[in-house]
Structure 1
Amino acid sequence: MDNLNISRHISGQFNAELESIRTHVLAMGGLVERQLTDALRAMHYQDADLAKQVIKEDHKVNSMEVAIDEACTRIIAKRQPTAGDLRLVIAIIKTITDLERIGDVADSIAKMALDNFSNHQQPFLVSLENLGQKAARMLHDVLDAFARMDVDAAMKVYHSDDQLDKEYEAIIRQLMTYMMEDPRSIPNVLKVMWSARAIERVGDRCQNICEYIIYFVKGKDIRHTNKEQLEKMLK
């Protein structure tokens, strides 16, 4: 834990508690990453069994969020952490909330995939593949940054959301063209639009986790700041 700038304490038990919680967050992140990747694969390859597996395992993500949240509450009540320790606990509580919501996105995409299997119409899902891959890469990279509490890595992920947003906007324009050319496609296109929006929101969640990393390491809240302000704050 030393290389993460987490304070050492006279109580070895306190150190163990902090490290245990951080380890559980990474385990939760790994599960969410797998859930998202599997949901995207199920949608792209029309794999109903894989989609059902994602839906079945969503409860694990929810259970992990509750368990970590309870552990953080116990630490606050028992240890009354201050300074960096308190920032770490706050960052963890917020991070698991965003991870759980990414898990919800994976669950919803899997359910949409099953719905599409029933009507056998998949003409628009290919456009989501690259978007999904970029979102999954962002999640992987932000979890890596969290594991090392690496501000520079977090900033790279933070800025990569701009490219995800541009690709999302391009997909929406393309889908709107499809709808205008063939009104019969509207029900399916709307489903794909929802999925694209859900994937784009994964990028926003990853940006949030970047902010929590910076908050822990730098002690600065960068929410609601523009790029120019952000550069000045982190100098």
Structure 2
Amino acid sequence: MDNHNISRHISGQFNAELEAIRTHVLTMGGLVERQLTDALRAMHNQDVDLARHVIREDHKVNGMEVAIDEACTRIIAKRQPTASDLRLVMAIIKTITDLERIGDVADSIAKMALDNSSHSQQPFLVSLEALGQRAAKMLHEVLDAFARMDIEAAMRVYRKDDSLDREYEGILRQLMTYMMEDPRSIPNVLKVMWSARAIERVGDRCQNICEYIIYFVKGKDVRHIQKEELEKLLK
């Protein structure tokens, strides 16, 4: 994180506590990114061993969320942060919630890959590959923006959600066509539809993290304003 974005304190211990929490968030983000990438690969390749690995690792994501949340609570109680320090702590608390939910998506996709390890869904899963790669790239880029608290980088990620949504809608139309042409495909297609929706939600979570970055840097809550207003605010 750039030095101009972090308040410096007389208490070196306070600085160390904030830095430790920030580092822990980035470690959690790296794990979640790996979990998502592995889950998508397990689904696409019907890789049972990789799917089981993702499921086993999910508890680590949950444990990190709890540990970071507790550390933030201790800072609030002990340091009583104000202004940008308080915004940083609140942005971290909200960010780890979205990261944990992305971790849940990875876990669920891995479980679907494990439960449907035959190749009966393979023709339908091909359509999810590009969508999954796009969502994983958004996650990687928003974590990089969070590391630097870079609102310009955050806005670039924020804008990418529109193309992710359009791709998702195109996949839904394609899958609906499959079901109409072959009713026997409906059970498999519905599972793929759920996966597509879960991947699309990763993009929404990344947008949320972008909003937390803007909140920390600008001191304004932008969660419920129109995109046009957001663009004007950051000019």
TM-score, with structure 1 as normaliser: 0.98
Deviations 1:18-72 (A, max 9, x none): 0000000000000000000000000111110000000000000000000000000
What does 1:177-192 correspond to in 2, within 5 Å?
177-192=177-192
SS in 2 for 1:124: helix
What does 1:21-36 correspond to in 2, within 5 Å?
21-36=21-36
Separation (CA, whole Å) in 2 of partners of 1:130 and 1:121: 16
Deviation (angstroms), 1:233: 1.7
Separation (CA, whole Å) in 2 of partners of 1:160 and 1:138: 8
Contact 1:51 1:114 in 2 (8 A): yes
Deviation (angstroms), 1:220: 1.1
AA aligned opposite 2:84: G
Contact 2:2 2:148 in 1 (8 A): no
Q: Which residue of 2 aligns with 1:92?
A: 92
Separation (CA, whole Å) in 1 of partners of 2:28 and 2:115: 27
2:75 is equivalent to residue 75 of structure 1: yes
Contact 2:46 2:118 in 1 (8 A): no
Q: 4+ residue runs of structure 1 moved beyond 3 angstroms?
A: 118-121
2:9 is equivalent to residue 9 of structure 1: yes
Contact 2:46 2:119 in 1 (8 A): no
SS in 2 for 1:123: helix
Deviations 1:136-192 (A, max 9, x none): 000000000000000000000000000000000000000000000000000000000
Contact 2:98 2:208 in 1 (8 A): yes
Contact 1:46 1:117 in 2 (8 A): yes
Deviation (angstroms), 1:123: 2.1
Separation (CA, whole Å) in 2 of partners of 1:4 and 1:109: 40
AA aligned opposite 1:155: M
- Alpha carbons of structure 1 residues 221 and 124: separation in structure 2 relative to 1, 3 Å: same
SS in 1 for 2:8: coil
Quote the sequence identity (%): 86
Contact 1:139 1:203 in 2 (8 A): yes
Contact 1:116 1:122 in 2 (8 A): no
- Alpha carbons of structure 1 residues 119 and 129: separation in structure 2 relative to 1, 3 Å: closer
Deviation (angstroms), 1:226: 1.2
For structure 2, the residue ranges without an aligned partner over 5 or more in a row are none
AA aligned opposite 2:171: I
Q: Which residue of 1 aligns with 2:228?
A: 228
Q: Which residue of 2 aligns with 1:194?
A: 194
2:101 is equivalent to residue 101 of structure 1: yes
TM-score, with structure 2 as normaliser: 0.98
2:137 is equivalent to residue 112 of structure 1: no
Q: Which residue of 1 aligns with 2:134?
A: 134
Separation (CA, whole Å) in 1 of partners of 2:138 and 2:208: 12
Separation (CA, whole Å) in 2 of partners of 1:120 and 1:126: 12
AA aligned opposite 2:180: M
Separation (CA, whole Å) in 2 of partners of 1:105 and 1:161: 17
Separation (CA, whole Å) in 2 of partners of 1:80 and 1:197: 40
Separation (CA, whole Å) in 1 of partners of 2:102 and 2:121: 26
Deviation (angstroms), 1:232: 2.0
Deviation (angstroms), 1:224: 1.4
Separation (CA, whole Å) in 1 of partners of 2:29 and 2:4: 18
For structure 1, the residue ranges without an aligned partner over 5 or more in a row are none
Contact 1:4 1:148 in 2 (8 A): no
Separation (CA, whole Å) in 2 of partners of 1:121 and 1:159: 32
2:197 is equivalent to residue 214 of structure 1: no
